[in-house]
């Protein structure tokens, strides 16, 4: 998949239905403008199940918008997203596409975990309540079961003893680990990370990335927008470099990071390395 900036048409985008390659996330021809500025200009992306994709690029290149479009927090102007073969935000009926109602979109989102740059934990709820909320209210899990699962997840991110604390009583790194546990509680098919360490002090970055690495080892499908090149090199199966709303180049980390083929990639890496 090289830089293909073309106008997608509805006919050539696969809607739901069987997919040849086992792609967990398929993105086809996403276009999105905010007023006069086009932020996404025809983005295509394929993320195989169980793989880790790291998205790099200068700020304003459309990385965050791409992530937000994947879980339909941002409605795009053109293009489609499918998770595990399920079209997100629309339903195909014959030759028509029906926009899904909010309730159905919310159900689809339970398959897509999202970790925000600013954590967005609910400050008035305890750590445990933050994690239990969605499984109980969105998936209708019994409370006791959801609590037990939440405690397991807290154990996994190393915060079992903080279950009854309020988010503001935790450090940034701890808050982000809780946010990851909260996203995992829905057992999503894919986890999206929007610059998960950008709001953290440098010494707290490691503890969050360690959790993400654990998840990668466990075979979680993830798309991570980050500026941590070292993390990309170590964990990513695919590195995607975006600039100006398009995917400039992608491939294994060694190819993209060490032998970039595009001038823009080289210029960016020269600045951040």
Chain positions contacting another protein, by CB under 8 A: 71, 73, 102-103, 106-110, 112, 114, 116, 118, 120-126, 133-134, 137-139, 166-169, 182-183, 186
| Cβ-based nearer residue to another protein, 84 or 234 | 84
**Smallest separation (angstroms) from another protein to the CB of 269:** 31
Residue closer to another protein by CB (options 185, 240) is: 185
* Cα 59 to Cα 18, 21, 63, distances in angstroms: 36, 31, 8
Provide, rounded to whole angstroms, the least separation between the CB of residue 257 and another protein: 30
Give whichever of 3 and 108 is closer to another protein, judged by the CB atom.
108
Of residues 16 and 104, the one with the C-beta less far from another protein: 104
In the complex, minimum distance from the CB of residue 151 to another protein, in angstroms, rounded to a whole number:
18
CA distance 215 to 154: 14
Strands, sheet with 246-251, edge to edge from the N-terminal-most edge strand: 112-115, 190-194, 222-225, 52-56, 238-243, 246-251
What is the C-alpha separation between 118 and 135, in angstroms, rounded? 22
For the bound state, the minimum distance from the C-beta of residue 181 to another protein, rounded and expressed in Å, comes to 12
Reduced to 3 states, what is the DSSP secondary structure of residue 53?
strand
Residue 155: its H or E element: helix 143-156
Minimum gap (Å) between residue 80 Cβ and another protein? 19
Nearer to another protein among residue 9 and residue 168 (C-beta): 168
CA distances from 90 to 13, 28, 106, 259 (A): 13, 14, 12, 39
């Amino acid at each position: 998949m090289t830089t293909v900036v073309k106008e997608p048409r509805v006919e050539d985008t696969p809607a739901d239905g069987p997919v040849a390659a086992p792609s967990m996330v398929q993105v086809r021809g996403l276009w999105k403008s905010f007023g006069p500025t086009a932020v996404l200009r025809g983005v295509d992306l394929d993320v195989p199940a169980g793989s880790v994709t790291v998205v790099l690029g200068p700020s304003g290149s459309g990385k965050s918008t791409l992530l937000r479009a994947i879980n339909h927090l941002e409605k795009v102007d053109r293009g489609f997203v499918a998770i595990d073969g399920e079209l997100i935000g629309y339903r195909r009926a014959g030759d028509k596409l029906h926009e899904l109602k909010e309730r159905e979109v919310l159900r689809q989102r339970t398959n897509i975990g999202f970790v925000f740059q600013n954590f967005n934990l609910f400050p008035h709820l305890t750590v445990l309540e933050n994690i239990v909320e969605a499984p109980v209210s969105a998936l209708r899990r019994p409370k006791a079961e959801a609590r037990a699962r939440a405690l397991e997840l807290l154990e996994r991110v190393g915060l079992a003893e903080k279950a009854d604390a309020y988010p503001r009583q935790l450090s940034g790194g701890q808050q982000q680990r809780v946010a990851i546990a909260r996203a995992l509680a829905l057992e999503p098919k894919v986890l999206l990370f929007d610059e998960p360490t950008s709001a953290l002090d440098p010494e707290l970055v490691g503890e969050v990335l360690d959790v993400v690495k654990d998840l990668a080892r466990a075979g979680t499908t993830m798309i991570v927008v980050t500026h941590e090149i070292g993390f990309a090199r170590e964990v990513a199966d695919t590195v995607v470099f975006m600039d100006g709303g398009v995917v400039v180049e992608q491939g294994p980390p060694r190819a993209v990071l060490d032998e970039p083929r595009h001038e823009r990639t080289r210029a960016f890496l020269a600045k951040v390395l």
